[in-house]
Structures are given as structure tokens and as C-alpha cells.
Structure 1
Amino acid sequence: MELFGRYILQTQEIVDNKSFNTANKVIDSAADLNDVFYVFVDLMTTQMSEFQERDSVNVNKFCGFGGSSYIKLPYFIEKKKAVVNVHNQE
């Protein structure tokens, strides 16, 4: 199940849509839909509360790719002079 919510940061007039979801679950004819629904509501409420407690800021670590080899361009690309093929020093 997935829930979309619109969050508004009024002090900076920022509006952002966020989604919260649960793991997939098989629901068959023997399942009690009320129980499934209340478990969903509890999970979504917990996720939304945790999001709000983090001040609505997501921080991700970026690990850039390092160059480590040089590959000569095919002649038909090289003669067009449209691509810069940089030689690195590693």
C-alpha cells in the first residue's frame, strides 16, 4: 500500500509531495480486511511521524565516481571534434 501526502513548509512557502509505502502483502479471501487496514494505518502513521520529527530534511551521502582508465575514441567520433576525451593521470 502507498500513501501520498502534501507537506507545506509555511515559513519558506515550500510545498512538497511525499510518499510512504509498506511492503507488499498477499491478501486472500481469508484475510480480515479490517486488520490489514489498521496495520496499514499504523505503519503509515509511524512513517509520517518519523518524517516530521526529522524536520522534513533528507540527507544522502554522495560518493562520486573516480576515473581510472582512458579509452581511445573510435575514429569516426574523434574526427567530428564534438566530444572531449579527457586523459586522466591515475
Structure 2
Amino acid sequence: MIIHCSVIKPGVRFNAPVFFEDGQNMFLGANRPAKPFHISALKRWNIPFLVTEGQILPDDYVEEEDVEELEPLEDDEDVAELEEL
């Protein structure tokens, strides 16, 4: 997919790496947000478009591996201990 650089805003993420127009040099890794310095670089270097095999991720997307699994409380002792804190 070809991405016009006007689509790249701070915080935008893709589910696959994004490359410069040569298709070899990476601009953004998968699931990595674009930052203001990325946008500045595109403007400074007059980059017209980028390429990716991915899609834009929604703002609220979270990868499963980034979510920490919590252990369930086993008895009232644990709750009492938390209340003390």
C-alpha cells in the first residue's frame, strides 16, 4: 500500500513496518507510533510517499503481548491486605 505523507500524523501506527519509497529503508516499525520528529524528517527530506504491507491501527489498539495478565485474588486475606495499603 502506498501512503501519502499527509496521512502520517503524530501517534499514527501501522500493523506492519512502513518503508521509504525505495521499499528497503524502514521509516517506522510495526505498531510504533509516528512522532513529531518523524513528520519533520518527511518534510525536510521532501518525501512524497511511504509504502507498507500493513494497515493503520485504531487509536485504542493494544497488542495482546503488551497487556500484563493479573492473577486473581484467592481469598479475603489478600483483600484485607490491599485495604491496609
Q: Identify whether the pair has TM-score above 0.5, normalized to the shorter chain.
A: no
TM-score (norm 2): 0.20
TM-score (norm 1): 0.20
